[in-house]
Structure 1
């Protein structure tokens, strides 16, 4: 059984105070989801995602609000290189890529 893991994300232009993340692994062995990731960027900007890995992408499925799925593609070395979210289109980085980078560093993702 995996334990919950938490960490920090690097500051961004819009969130200079730093950001945090927490991952709660699923206990359902039949679920395609690895667990739930919550990213906190500010008091008013907290979002939770179901996380899955499929076809070489790390998928983030928003759990509250409109159903949105974002895919982070990693290179052969496992570094995130693209994301399907609109933030990545403008800045060439995003909270999803930052989260994948940190989750890989902490051993949550292989």
Structure 2
């Protein structure tokens, strides 16, 4: 039961941090000249107005859910650990913010 509790707690923190990271970096992208480097991932990502391939749908789903799932798995693994949880949480927070920053730097227009 302890593992489930920590997993849910980490998952909630992961959801909030993912949402806020995407929101803050989206606002930042409106002020900067993005993309910062050229990639082949250009094109239309708007699901309503463009023909989006299955690969792009999978990428969009991963963009939304992957950080939260990783947070939940980390909470499950650290539930019975004696290691400090704050270090794990800080590392995950840095990874989540970096994930969204790299996405916007590489793809967003």
Q: TM-score range by the shorter chain?
A: under 0.3
State the TM-score, normalizing by the size of structure 2. 0.26
Between Structure 1 and Structure 2, the one with more strand by share is 1
State the TM-score, normalizing by the size of structure 1. 0.26
Between Structure 1 and Structure 2, the one with more helix by share is 2
Higher relative contact order (CA 8 A, sep 6+): 2
Q: Which structure's CA Rg is the greater one?
A: 2
